[in-house]
Amino acid sequence: MATINAPTLQDVQYSGAAPLAAVHGAAVLAAAQIADKVRLAQLPAGAKVDDLRMINAALGASTTVSVGYEYVDGSAADAAAFLAATSTVAAASTNMAVKPVKLTKDAYLTATVGGGAASGALDVVAFYEPRGV
């Protein structure tokens, strides 16, 4: 199991005074293996994730991707908090189908590969309320 840092991980996320913010994480996978985790972006402590969309290319036979989080300090993680393992065999756009999730600490937005080796473009956009701790 490898951890892959997406190019978007270090992007500055600015929410200003808006009641709703968006964060975009993207990576092009090159034969990412089962259980490989991609850190796509960072969310601030207190963020309440209301909606999320995963947009993927056809990543390969039998592939799945789940979307979740892991706290930056390593204290906890939920690899499928926002999106359970979803087939990525064909190009698709999939929306979050769970209730909003509040993060109590700074967290990485993660995508975890399952089912088979994955190659291709993966984008995730999360919409959240920056509520603070």
pLDDT at position 17 = 65
Burial group, residue 87, by CB count within 10 angstroms (0-12, 13-18, 19+)? middle
Q: What is the pLDDT of residues 4-18, one digit of tens each?
A: 878 787 766 666 666
Structural domains of the chain, with CATH: 23-130 (2.60.120)
What global pTM score does this model have? Answer: 0.91
**In the structure, what pLDDT confidence band is assigned to residue 2 with cuts at 50, 70 and 90?**
confident
Q: What is the pLDDT of residues 33-84, one digit of tens each?
A: 999 999 999 999 999 999 999 999 999 999 999 999 999 999 999 999 999 9
